[in-house]
Structure 1
Amino acid sequence: MALSDNARGALLMNVAMIAFTLNDTAMKAVMQQVPMFQAMTLRGVLSTAALAFLAWRLGAFAIVIAARDRRFIGLRGVFEVASTLAFFAALRNMPLANLSAIMQALPLVVTLVAALFLRESVGWRRTLAIIAGFIGVLIIIRPGPEGFSIWAGVGLVAMLFVAVRDLVTRQMSRSIPSVLVAASASLAVLVTGLAGAVIEGWQPVAWREALLILFSAGMLIVGYLTIVAAMRVGDIGVVAPYRYMALVWAIFLGWMIFGTLPDGFTLVGAGIVVASGIYTLLREAGLRRRRVQVTG
């Protein structure tokens, strides 16, 4: 029996979340033995080559890009680099599940920033959901001398950079192929990794770490392709909430690979963030359908 569009979209989103979490897990393991910038460079070589090849095969390089969009692609690359640096620093120094829990606030931050700077309408229900989500984040990072970790703060900064990156992406023309944008961002991260490796130093890579980097790059490509496909199939209100499966996989893999489990505060905070995010996504999808019905 053929799957419905919503079922295929949900399946693709789940695959994307597994792939991205496996990528993070592999990179965390690699950075225990390999300097961060070197790991970033080696993964960047593989992922950039794969994305560039895919862009070439799809004819993306033949598209003429307006000056306005070139500026947005460059700006997006800047925030891609900033978010990658902050994310890798946090990933190397804090439990995988805790960082994943912080990153789950991303849809809430995107909604808030869009309301503040892009004049997008946000009603009182979504405003309350955003406030609740931020309370959840505070429970996770627990600011104060007892529970706060500087790396949780770095993870929060990474999430904020990703939110700005996504808002910049919204300003691009829809005619620009997603694979071209991704390849450009991957190249920016690669160049930054090379520059950092010159300062940080380079060391021989064992076969285990080499295979993990290869695996990480592969999972990154799989995650990118499946998440793009997921968002183009089915109802976004059905598909998008499965993004939060990343937290489930992060908890499982953090326990299996690194022997770490989030404490009760982190689980409570993550639950609040996830519930708030799912409500916001469903609310936005409902309002979008209502606008389509009115204009139709």
Structure 2
Amino acid sequence: MQASLLMTLSMATFATNDMLTKFATQSIEPVQIMALRGAMASALLFAFAKWRGAFLSFAVLRRPVVLVRAVADICTTLCYLNALRHLPLANASAIFQALPLTITLGAFLFLGERVGWRRWTAIAVGFVGVLVILAPGAEGFNVYGLWVLASVVFAAMRDLATRRMPPDLSSPQIALVTSVAVTLTGFSLLPVEGWRPVPAQVWATLAAASVTLACGYALIVSAVRTGDLSFVAPFRYTILLFSILLGIAAFGERPSLRETFGSLIVVGSGLYALHRETRGRAAQDRG
């Protein structure tokens, strides 16, 4: 129960971060958010790494897998921020829930992991749910949903690269290096996008977003370390509920029946795929 509560709290903080970031996108460009929020988050991560006594060095970027992870996280952030500016919170969150299915697909294609027909079916059904949310060809189609889908692909690449990380690299070091890479990318793109004046309210919003982002990562690590992963993982989908509630409260968003139905398909297929993966690992352990 403690682990499930920690996971649920982490999803609440991530949803809050999305809400705060969406507020900021109404005043400044996404690359400014990458730069400013990234600088604040990097400072928090640096303090956390020093507190944990983690060895810090940017020489780790010479390792291909770390570089791939950093580039993938940069692309994930760019795509998601660009989409979040134009999409309802619930829609962006629902499409992003296809990430576990995309990771399963990527693990089969690039890591040689075995995927049974039931999980293949879950992957197919999950992406049908994404199409229901996107509604291609319908009047409600929003092209920015494709940006979320692109962020899902890059996030899967990031997480698959994380699986290949050597054990001598600490989590705080990897997180800090990636955060700094995202921050520097944001600053490097500012001459292209231009700089908008940042009101005091937006500074406060970005500071709060940085704190919620850091807390979310800390809570999710604690949740995974406290409880059994097969029990804790399904609570990740509570982020969709928080996104719906925050979208209604902060922006007056109301998901349509079609969007709600598509979200249920994505979540249901993800839960089933997780169930099959857990059963498969249990069978291997018994063998």
| Cα drift, residue 85 of structure 1 | 0.3
Q: Which among 34, 41, 44 is matched to residue 40 of structure 1? A: 34
CA contact (8 A) 2:83 2:92 kept: yes
Unmatched tracts of structure 2, length 5 or more: none
Q: For the aligned residues, what is the CA RMSD?
A: 1.7
Matched, 1:111 2:116: no
Matched, 1:130 2:99: no
Q: Which amino acid in structure 1 is aligned with residue 67 of structure 2?
A: G
Matched, 1:177 2:177: no
Q: Which among 16, 23, 27 is matched to residue 29 of structure 1? A: 23
The runs of 4+ residues in structure 1 deviating greater than 4 Å are 62-68
Residue of structure 2 equivalent to 1:4: none
CA contact (8 A) 2:80 2:151 kept: yes
Q: Which amino acid in structure 1 is aligned with residue 174 of structure 2?
A: V
- Tell me the distance in 2 between the aligned counterparts of 1:39 and 1:226: 23
Matched, 1:140 2:133: yes
- Tell me the distance in 2 between the aligned counterparts of 1:124 and 1:115: 12
Matched, 1:154 2:147: yes
- Tell me the distance in 1 between the aligned counterparts of 2:17 and 2:61: 34
1:266–1:62 CA distance, 2 compared to 1 (3 A): closer
Q: Which among 194, 207, 218 is matched to residue 201 of structure 1? A: 194
Query: Normalising by structure 2, what TM-score?
Result: 0.95
- Tell me the distance in 2 between the aligned counterparts of 1:264 and 1:205: 37
Q: How many residue pairs are counted as aligned between the two chains?
A: 287
Q: Deviations over 1:182-230 (max 9, x none)?
A: 1111111100110122322223322211111110000000011111121
Q: Deviations over 1:109-130 (max 9, x none)?
A: 1011111221101111111111
| Cα drift, residue 236 of structure 1 | 1.0
- Tell me the distance in 2 between the aligned counterparts of 1:190 and 1:181: 14
Q: Which amino acid in structure 2 is aligned with residue 263 of structure 1?
A: S
| Cα drift, residue 66 of structure 1 | 7.4
| Cα drift, residue 145 of structure 1 | 5.0
- Give aligned-pair identity as a percent: 41
Matched, 1:121 2:114: yes
CA contact (8 A) 2:58 2:177 kept: no
Residue of structure 1 equivalent to 2:181: 188
Q: Which moved more, 1:177-186 or 1:90-99?
A: 177-186
| Cα drift, residue 292 of structure 1 | 2.1
Q: Which moved more, 1:133-142 or 1:283-292?
A: 283-292
Residue of structure 2 equivalent to 1:3: none
**Structural mapping, 1:73-112, within 5 Å:** 73-112=66-105
**Structural mapping, 1:214-253, within 5 Å:** 214-253=207-246
Residue of structure 1 equivalent to 2:205: 212
Matched, 1:11 2:12: no
**SS state at 1:93 partner:** coil
Q: Deviations over 1:104-154 (max 9, x none)?
A: 110011011111221101111111111111111110111125332110111
| Cα drift, residue 267 of structure 1 | 0.6
Residue of structure 1 equivalent to 2:252: 259
1:145–1:268 CA distance, 2 compared to 1 (3 A): closer
Query: Normalising by structure 1, what TM-score?
Result: 0.92
1:18–1:242 CA distance, 2 compared to 1 (3 A): same
1:291–1:144 CA distance, 2 compared to 1 (3 A): same
1:91–1:140 CA distance, 2 compared to 1 (3 A): same
- Tell me the distance in 2 between the aligned counterparts of 1:61 and 1:195: 27
CA contact (8 A) 2:12 2:242 kept: yes
- Tell me the distance in 2 between the aligned counterparts of 1:232 and 1:283: 22
- Tell me the distance in 1 between the aligned counterparts of 2:168 and 2:269: 32
1:196–1:169 CA distance, 2 compared to 1 (3 A): same
**SS state at 1:60 partner:** coil
Matched, 1:52 2:17: no
- Tell me the distance in 1 between the aligned counterparts of 2:178 and 2:150: 19
Q: Which amino acid in structure 2 is aligned with residue 280 of structure 1?
A: A
